[in-house]
Amino acid sequence: MRLVYRDDGISKDTDVALLKHVHEQFLHHHRTHTLSLICNGLETNQPLIDYVNKTTNWDLCIHGWDYVNYSLLSKTQIEDDLDKCILKIEALFGTVPETWYLPWNGWTKESGFDLVPRIADIAIYHGVDVDIDCDHISHAVEVLESHRNLVTNTIYFHSWERADLELLPNLFFLTRKN
């Protein structure tokens, strides 16, 4: 199983020094660092754009135009935001994103989780897959340390969360054969 190591919520406010520190670990372990991007205003973080464009081992994906519950938006709003994200990522990084990781992983059942298939149907017409099948790094490490199998191939973390970053070396060690 090919694992996806997803760094969630990378945005105009992301500290590029922290991102560099995290990414150096990916380079050291020969892993792909998946960035889930909040695209509104991303062009204002030029140091982040420059760093990503001059280094390797990236998979650039959509998290959203803004951090909103896409399950509750109209079809037109979803399509507009999705198109803006695709165009922004292509303009800034020269690549077309293939995956959309919804904020809060599609939200909860009470807040629209049942509507995620509708979003996926919309996204597929724009050439983007929607992925909500994921596990937080803390749970994934716990599962792997107890010698159980992961039930997903996407593990997400937040590079601004110290607890998440402290688990990253363990995750790399536990998944070294993947």
Decide if 64 is inside a domain: yes
CB 16 within 8 A of CB 48: yes
Range of the domain at 87: 4-160
Decide if 168 is inside a domain: no
> Residue 138: which CATH number?
3.20.20.370
pLDDT digits (tens, 9 = 90+) for 148-157: 999 899 999 9
Confidence of residue 132 (pLDDT cuts 50, 70, 90): confident
pLDDT value for 128: 82
Confidence of residue 117 (pLDDT cuts 50, 70, 90): low
Decide if 166 is inside a domain: no
Decide if 169 is inside a domain: no
Q: Indicate the residue type of 146.
A: S
Give the chain's domain count. 1
Decide if 178 is inside a domain: no
pLDDT value for 130: 80
CB 56 within 8 A of CB 23: no
Query: Comparing 98-102, 105-109, 113-117, which segment has the lowest mean pLDDT?
Result: 105-109
Decide if 174 is inside a domain: no
Task: For the chain, report the end-to-end CA distance as a whole number of angstroms.
Answer: 7
pLDDT value for 110: 54
Decide if 59 is inside a domain: yes
Please return the burial class of 93, using the count of CB atoms within 10 Å of its CB with bins 0-12, 13-18 and 19+. middle
Residue 108 has pLDDT above 60, yes or no: no
- Supply the mean pLDDT for the chain: 89
